[in-house]
Structure 1
Amino acid sequence: MSQDAPRLPLSTGEGLPSPVPTTLAAVDICRFGARSNARTQLHLRREMYALIAEACRITRVPWAASYREDRGDGALFIVPPDVAAEHLLDPFAHHLVAVLRRYNRLSSHAAQLKLRLAVHTGRVHSDDHGVTGPALVHLFRLLDAPAFKKIAADTADLAVIVSDRLYTDVTEGGGLIDPTAYKPQRITCKETRTRAWIWTPPAH
């Protein structure tokens, strides 16, 4: 967990920590391991965090108030429960594409940055060591699914995968996202077999 990142609330009684219903997002730098130069990897990590924070600021998603964990080649962040889940799809993902494209236009070939983003909603347990729970496992199964990685590899700048639960909640609840912009995809990753929804930005 980041030193300055807020903690999720813990239960004070015995048994499982009190679960917090919220929206979870995980970001991964595509082909990070192929960048064997440590200086380049550090640069990409720094820029990834800066771009996520900028997209959050534009979207009014409270990055400073979100729980965050570094993942080496990516990051996990969990927004406060009062943030509407759909905000992580639209406008956040759209703003992230915009700042990514601006960054890539101004960067060298070696410093180009392409991201995968997974978004899910569910209950998260926290303890002294961080966070856990089935929702977190599901989030990373989506992010790491081979089918999603293949789509991301063929997409410029950003590819987004959304859990079926979140997509259904947002589209059936009258959210402002365009349901037709998301394409269904069967996902198989380890023990997970599910349907998810993928959004890729229009070519520019």
Structure 2
Amino acid sequence: MSRDTSGQLPAWARLPRPTTTTLAAVDICRFGTRRDAPTQLLLRKEMYGLVAEACRITRVPWYDCHREDRGDGALFIVPPDVAADHLLDPFANHLTVVLRRYNRLAGPATRLRLRLAVHAGQIHRDEHGVAGPALVHLFRLLDAPAFKKAADSAVADLAMIVSDRLYTDAVEGGGLVNPAAYTSQRVTCKETRARAWIWTPPTH
């Protein structure tokens, strides 16, 4: 959990009741194939820096997000007053740009390719952290074999998967979403069978 400069948790994160907000998880593709620790540590550092920069450009308050490290990736949950559609096309496009800039100077071993999953729902807290069905669904989307296959075959260095609920709400609400950039996909991962939407950057 992030803290502000006074060392206190953000006010929204201290609320005892469940909070409805937007959840995102990012994962470094093929992280396990980078077998030496220095390379893995470098990739993790760069991933965090690029995600934080993309948040800043998108005006998503990275330092007010709940953040949890996942070894080869990270979970971040934005404050509930941040519009969910900011984490879709705006954030994904900005992350693509900063990734492209980084990869221009990266060698084969340090090139970064990322998968991003975004969902919206209730988060619950206990003494160990955050939990709830929305969190489970987010990681089922991120780990879905169909999404991993789509990300591996994509030309770009970023692929994003969005829950059907969030995508539908954003499109129907006239949010910052270009429906033509998304492809409908049925995903299966463990007990989850759901429709989702996959976004990849334009190739032109």
TM-score relative to the length of structure 2: 0.93
Corresponding position: 1:120 with 2:119: yes
| C-alpha contact 2:90 2:176 (8 A) present in aligned 1 | no
Structure-2 residue corresponding to 1:111: 110
SS at match of 2:53: helix
1:3/1:72 Cα in 2 relative to 1: closer, same or farther (>3 Å)?
farther
Percent of residue pairs bearing the same amino acid type:
73
Matched, 1:28 2:27: yes
Classify the secondary structure of the residue corresponding to 1:201: coil
Deviation above 6 Å: which 4+ runs of structure 1? none
Tell me the CA shift for residue 9 of structure 1: 2.5
Taking the aligned partners of 1:6 and 1:113, their CA distance within structure 2 comes to 31
For the residue of structure 2 that corresponds to 1:102, the secondary structure is helix
Distance 1:61 1:31, change over 3 A: same
Q: Aligned pair 1:195/2:192, yes or no?
A: no
Q: Is the 8 A contact 2:103 2:111 kept in 1?
A: yes
Cα contact 1:6–1:68 (8 A) shared by 2: no
Aligned to 2:84: 85
Task: List alignment gaps of at least 5 residues for structure 1.
Answer: 12-17
Q: Does 1:142 align with 2:141?
A: yes
Alignment partners' CA distance in 2, 1:109 and 1:183: 29
Amino acid aligned to 1:138: H
The separation in 1 between residues aligned to 2:125 and 2:9, in whole angstroms, is 12
Unaligned regions of 5+ residues in structure 2, if any?
Answer: none
Asked if structure 2 preserves the Cα contact closer than 8 Å seen for 1:9 and 1:126, the reply is no
Per-residue CA deviations over 1:89-145 (Å, capped at 9, x if unaligned) read 121110000000000001111100000000000000012211000000000000000
Tell me how large the CA RMSD over aligned residues is.
Answer: 1.4
Q: Partners in 2 of 1:120 and 1:26 — Cα distance?
A: 9
Q: CA offsets per residue over residues 49-107 of structure 1, 9 Å max, x none?
A: 00000000111000010000000000000000000000001211100000000000011
Equivalent-residue separation in structure 1 for 2:33 and 2:15 (angstroms): 39
In the alignment, structure 1 residue 177 sits paired with structure 2 residue 173: no
CA contact (8 A) 1:119 1:161 kept: yes
